[in-house]
Amino acid sequence: MKMIISNNCNLLYYLLMLISVNEVFPIRTYTKDDLNNLRDEVKEMFYHAYDSYLKYAYPYDELRPISCDGMDTYGSYSLTLIDALDTLAIMGNHTEFQRVVDILSAKTDFDANINVSVFETNIRIIGGLLSAHLLSNIAGINLEPGWPCNGPLLRLAEDVAKRLIVAFDTKTGMPYGTVNLRHGVPKDETPVTCTAGIGTFIVEFGTLSRLTGDPIYEEVAMNALYALFNHQSPLGLFGNHIDTNTGRWTAQDAGIGSGVDSYFEYLVKGSILLQRPELMEMFHTSRKAIDKYLKKDDWYMWVSMTKGHVTLPVFQSLEAYWPGVLSLIGETSNAMRTLHNYHQVWQQYGFTPEFYYITQNEAGAGKESYPLRPELIESIMYLYRATGDPFLLQAGEDILRSIKHSAKTPCGYATIKDVRDHRKEDRMESFFLSETTKYLYLLFDVDNFIHNQGEHGTIINTPNGECVINAGGYIFNTEAHPIDPSALHCCHTIPNQNFDFKTFETNRDFYQGTLIKKYKKGTSDDLSSLENITITLESGVASVEELSIDNMTEKVAENMSDTLKNGSESILLAENRVFIAQVMLERFRKENRYPKNEAWQTNYELLSCKAQTFLQRLSIWGEFFNK
């Protein structure tokens, strides 16, 4: 009896505490002036870091904000300058955007004898160049004839992709993790790659294919996704690392965080951006297993991919992207519950540690740092756009205040070495300017052009005819580089359908996807035949069959030895071996190891589900303004 009374008293105490908290700390109401002031604070933060990079670190990759100097990290190609470029456009600084574009346009290629991460170079360099290329119109840049299907930044992005694509030349089609920008895959490179390092290419490579008209990038990225999907466990789970030659999982912990995260993100974003419903089917299939085995009280654990039991009850700060992804498919209620869990961790420390032990409610030993990561503010921005919940503005302001108070230095903003005492570390990663400040800015800048939900667009003339751009529905890659999906339909050659948009309002159901598959089916060119595929050499043209791996001659190798520098699709590897991307692609097509699900490929109803409003409008631009 005494125990029952005691428990009831405790319950009453906690209820009174909750009531008291709600009375003392109500959700703040934000006026337009409040939001503008917060937006300007974020802009000031960005420029303090950006100007310090230019003053102390350029042309190095990153700023060291305590030493006030620079260092190279990912490839010695002025990474922060490229990563921050589209943030300048979003913040309206067209003068500086033009200056940086001029600097980059003077560069003809990325030829260098250096080893780089395939994953990081793709999301940061290719993603940054493609985004800046597509924002050039808004930023008032003098455009080359044929834009957006032509332009110096697009050519640079494709040059980098040609140097990375050799990584996919494996038995499974899943890429190596490292390449040399001049010589391809290093001789002793391990075939073991993390899951995200395999599944995080379709946004950038798909964009490249749609803009250049060359299907190789999108096909290679899709092949890697199919390969990965076909190596899921019987439970439908994916491990952390896999051998790209054998398909054997070398790390079998399944989660949604480090080493896996952007794979799931790109299934959703790639599906929306490229109108590929099969990717959304893959995501929904994977999510069923995630919810069944990983989800516990709106947290997500790490489990064995083969047995499903919990192996690591931790929250990783990288996992905070997940609510934002759920918001893109309309799952805002589930997303908000998980976001509240993550925000509680931020409130506990003022930051989110890399690892947080859920059962002990404490930062993980040796994983107490916060390297200015963007994932939590990313989800907050997405969910605010979807719900308008003022709590999210307050959560965003919490992040802004913490960073300004504890991470600022005279020369920038520093990594928090330990969230428990807020000691600093001498590093400012480039994603602070490409992601963290951008998402904060967009949270508070409610009128930014990025938030266009399809209310307006711009009709431009291209060599393929008229098309619509700037119609909203921007898709951010995992480095927060926005891609304009409407622009991707300006450059490919699918025949235009004659639809009367004067009747749109009365035929809305027709246009939202239910009957679209009838018009999509059979419109793509059959690319499986080798008859018309050629590879251009300096000395002329040769067919794929003549350049097959088995019968490539020394004469061809001599002709191809310098072609990478000239921007063609081949690369001279070590030991005088020649890699030709088109030959690799034809091998993938011929082997057809991972047959496609035709029912998934045509299920366009998936792309007109209960998602944010702009996705329905995005489908319209994508389906009908083809050329």
C-alpha distance across the termini of the chain, in Å: 78
Q: Where are the alpha helices (DSSP H) in 25-141?
A: 32-52, 79-83, 85-90, 94-105, 118-120, 127-135
Tokens describing residue 245: 């030659």
Would you say 269 and 483 are in contact if contact means Cβ atoms under 8 Å apart? no
Give me the residue label for tokens 């931790």: 314
CA distance 111 to 8: 71
CA distance 260 to 286: 12
Contacts made by residues 83-86, CB under 8 angstroms, sequence distance 24+: 83/124, 83/128, 83/430, 83/431, 83/433, 83/434, 83/479, 84/50, 84/53, 84/430, 84/433, 84/434, 85/128, 85/131, 85/132, 86/128, 86/131, 86/132, 86/135, 86/434, 86/438, 86/481, 86/482
Q: What is the DSSP string of 119-181?
A: HHIIIIIIHHHHHHHHHTTTTTPPPPTTTTS--HHHHHHHHHHHHHGGGG-SSSSPPPSEEET
Helix (H) or strand (E) holding 403: helix 390-406
Using alpha carbons, list the distances in angstroms from residue 389 to 100, 338, 381, 436, 474.
37, 15, 11, 20, 21
Would you say 148 and 225 are in contact if contact means Cβ atoms under 8 Å apart? no
Catalytic residue ranges: 120, 261, 354, 375
Would you say 78 and 59 are in contact if contact means Cβ atoms under 8 Å apart? yes
Residue closest to 298 by CA, chosen among 317, 321, 280, 323: 323
Using alpha carbons, list the distances in angstroms from residue 170 to 118, 141, 510, 577.
14, 40, 43, 15
Give me the residue label for tokens 């979807």: 386
Residue closest to 112 by CA, chosen among 141, 79, 76, 81: 76
Q: Return the number of other C-beta atoms located less than 10 Å from residue 456's C-beta.
A: 11
Q: Is 338 annotated as a binding residue?
A: no
**Residues comprising the chain, all counted:** 627
CA distance 495 to 487: 16
Tokens describing residue 67: 């030493």
In DSSP terms, which residues pair with 302 in a beta bridge? 312
By DSSP bridging, strand 249-251 and strand 253-254 are unpaired
Phi-psi group of 75: left, alpha or beta (phi > 0 → left; psi -120 to 50 → alpha; rest → beta): left
Tokens describing residue 491: 């450059």
Per the annotation, where are the binding residues for Ca(2+)? 478
